[in-house]
């Protein structure tokens, strides 16, 4: 009798379900990247339009598309962790954003876990790559 091997599904873990991570080195210092990411314009690129309340630990938010969430952890200049649930998703997923210093440049990393399935993993990966393209344009001189 042939032994059956379990097939590994790309992007799926036992603990966090489906997940995606996207990162990019930007040509600006970490402090500047953090200001960009958390500015109203920066937030509109990777998260959506927030109420004027802003970001702080414990803050809840609702975006124009009906997505709701809350800020679970915020360490200014370094990272934040959000609960994020669009309409129709069975549960909240977690988005983590990190800014990692790299000399006069920095790495901006997005990671999202507890996605409902492989399709959403692909969609969110494409979304974060597009967001990083836009953020890189804003960060690049000229």
For 60-78, the pLDDT digits (tens) are 998 888 999 999 999 999 9
- At residue 140, the pLDDT reads 85
* H helix runs in the chain, sequence order: 30-38, 40-46, 118-139
Q: How far apart are CA 104 and CA 11, in angstroms?
A: 32
Confidence of residue 2 (pLDDT cuts 50, 70, 90): low
CATH of domain 17-139: 3.30.530.20
Confidence of residue 52 (pLDDT cuts 50, 70, 90): low
Q: How far apart are CA 53 and CA 50, in angstroms?
A: 8
48-70 in b/e burial notation, b at 16+ Cβ within 10 A?
bebeeeebeeebebebeeeeebe
| Residues whose CB is less than 8 angstroms from the CB of residue 100 and which lie 6 or more positions away in sequence, other chains included | 30, 106, 107, 108, 109
pLDDT tens-digit readout, 7-37 = 667 777 776 689 999 999 999 999 999 999 9
């Amino acid at each position: 009798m042939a032994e059956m091997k379990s097939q590994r599904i790309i992007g799926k873990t036992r603990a966090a379900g489906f997940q995606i991570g996207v990162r990019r080195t930007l040509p600006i210092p970490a402090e500047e990247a953090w200001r960009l990411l958390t500015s109203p314009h920066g937030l509109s690129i990777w998260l959506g339009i927030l109420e004027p309340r802003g970001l702080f630990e414990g803050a809840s938010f609702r975006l124009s598309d009906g997505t709701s969430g809350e800020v679970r952890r915020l360490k200014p200049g370094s990272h934040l962790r959000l609960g994020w649930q669009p309409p129709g998703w069975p549960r909240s997923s977690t988005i983590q954003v990190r800014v990692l210093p790299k000399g006069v440049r920095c790495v901006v990393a997005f990671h999202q876990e507890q996605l409902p399935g492989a399709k959403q993993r692909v969609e969110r990966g494409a979304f974060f790559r597009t967001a990083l393209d836009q953020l890189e344009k804003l960060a690049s001189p000229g």
